[in-house]
Amino acid sequence: MSPTVLGNLHTVLRGRAQPYARLDGRPGGPSAIDKQPVTGAVSVTPLGLEGDEQGDRKVHGGPDKAIHHYPWEHYADWRNALGDLPVLRQPGAFGENFSTTGITEATLCWGDQVRVGTCLLELAQTRQPCWKLNTRFGQATMARQVQATGRTGWYWRVLEAGSVQAGDAIVLVRRPHPGWPLTRVLQVLYHQCLDGAALQALAELALPPSWQRLVQARLERHQVEDWAKRLDGQVEAQD
């Protein structure tokens, strides 16, 4: 297909891991959710942006979660819902590495490949929000709201390393699953949770291992995994 410009990368962000508490003050381990804007070109490797960190590499980061992307367009919706919170006045509220205009979960499809700067990226998965957003926003149900609204953001896998910088266009170069916009994926994950046909269709996509296990477990057990562990911080997050 001919290359199509989907949107524009207006802010690149990265952060260092720091101690992080749950909303009730209990220790939550290290987190690098507090990302800060970067000026100029940033090198990108298969594990993400040079200089970026993840607090717990068991559940964050890695090749299938190399770059977290969150649309700037969603911020207006969150301000309407939550008010003019200071955290919503600039990119980075959701721990994203890429803040963009022109792209949302409705306009990207599973497995899309895009050129950004000199990198080739592949859409690897949507974000499964965790309790760290509750602390970040001072809202006990923030992670649940992110999940329910479908304004989750997503992760890129790095197929070709290179560099990116603010101002780069995001160009679609391949769309293997046009029938699977991320909105459909999120509908299956969080609203049609035990719809066998929908889960079987999702299982036919190239899913990361953790997602394969999730889908197969639902199909075999006919029950939904415990979201409270991830969303409310009862135990360590599984984001």
Domains delineated in the chain: 4-231 (2.40.33.20)
Task: Identify the pLDDT of residue 55.
Answer: 62
Q: Is the pLDDT at 46 greater than 80, yes or no?
A: yes
Q: Is the pLDDT at 225 greater than 80, yes or no?
A: yes
Residues 6+ apart with CB under 8 A from 34: 15, 18, 92, 95
Average model confidence (pLDDT) for the chain?
93
- The better pLDDT of the pair 129, 23 is held by 129
Listed range (22-26, 46-50, 115-119) with the worst mean pLDDT: 22-26
Confidence of residue 173 (pLDDT cuts 50, 70, 90): very high
Token pair belonging to 64: 């299938």
> Taking a C-beta distance cutoff of 8 angstroms, is the pair 23, 134 a contact?
yes
Task: Identify the pLDDT of residue 20.
Answer: 86
Task: Identify the pLDDT of residue 24.
Answer: 82
In a 3-state reduction of DSSP, which class is residue 168? coil
Listed range (5-9, 15-19, 138-142, 144-148) with the worst mean pLDDT: 15-19
- The better pLDDT of the pair 175, 31 is held by 175
What average pLDDT does the segment 162-175 reach?
98
Question: Which stretches within 32-128 are classed as H helix?
Answer: 73-82
Q: Is the pLDDT at 61 greater than 80, yes or no?
A: no
